[in-house]
Amino acid sequence: MTNNEKDFPREKPLDTDKVTDEKSQKTNHSSDNSSENNTPEEKPEDNGDTTKENQGSFTDNKEQQDELQNDQQETDPRDSMIKQLEEKNKELNDKYLRLFSDFDNFRKRNIKERLELIKTASAEITEAVLPVLDDLERAYKSATENPDIEALTEGLNLIQTKLKTTLKHKGLEEIPTVGEDFNTDFHEAITNMPASNEKEKGKVIDEVQKGYLLNGKVLRFAKVVVAN
């Protein structure tokens, strides 16, 4: 043995069987890991049946709601009441319009009749006064042809009496004045005068203008003098 061989230790021969076994184990281990990694994942269960069940339940609920709503609409008494009130309102409105139209026609007819009545009354009074006008014309003619004062005075007195009688038949009458108590319903005081005695106080002592009643209503107040 040489010196070099002594200085360096001799390497041990490799055990080829052992190396082969280790490589075989590593290869098997890698193959196992690869097999585990390549194992297909479990797919979740199909939810199609659940979705169909939910849709069916929703459809059933909607149908039930629709049926309930239809039942409420058919049996709700408020609808019938509303309809009755609407019909009653329409009936009352029509009745109001008819009454308003009738009243308006009545008002127009009443105004027209009153105007016709006034015209008729005026015509009747005018016709009644025409004979008095004829007498006045004859008296004037007579006075110009024969100026007799006594005859003229008598003729005028007859005409006045005839006119008063004619108007009295139409409802005209004089308001009493002198000697009567002063009454504001019939008299209009023009002035006041001192009373000559206690009995005259508050009484009418003179008449300035005659007053008249027509069918019991004041046509013209009597203008008078009152004693204080």
Residue pLDDT, tens place only, 24-42: 554 444 444 444 444 444 4
pTM (two decimals): 0.49
Q: How confident is the model at residue 60 (pLDDT cuts 50, 70, 90)?
A: low
Cβ-contact 165, 143 below 8 angstroms: no
Q: What is the mean pLDDT of residues 184-205?
A: 93
Query: In the Cβ-directed half-sphere of 173, how many Cα atoms lie within 13 Å?
Result: 9
Q: How confident is the model at residue 151 (pLDDT cuts 50, 70, 90)?
A: confident
Looking at the DSSP bridge assignments, the partners of residue 204 are: 226
> Please, what are the domains in the chain?
86-170 (3.90.20.20), 173-228 (2.30.22.10)
Cβ-contact 226, 203 below 8 angstroms: yes
Give the pLDDT confidence of 73-100 residue by residue, as tens digits: 556 778 888 988 999 999 999 999 999 9
Instruction: State how far the Cα of 216 lies from the Cα of 94, in Å rounded to an integer.
Output: 44
Sequence-separated contacts (24+) of 202-207 with Cβ below 8 Å: 202/226, 202/227, 203/179, 203/227, 204/177, 204/178, 204/179, 204/180, 205/178, 206/178, 207/177, 207/178
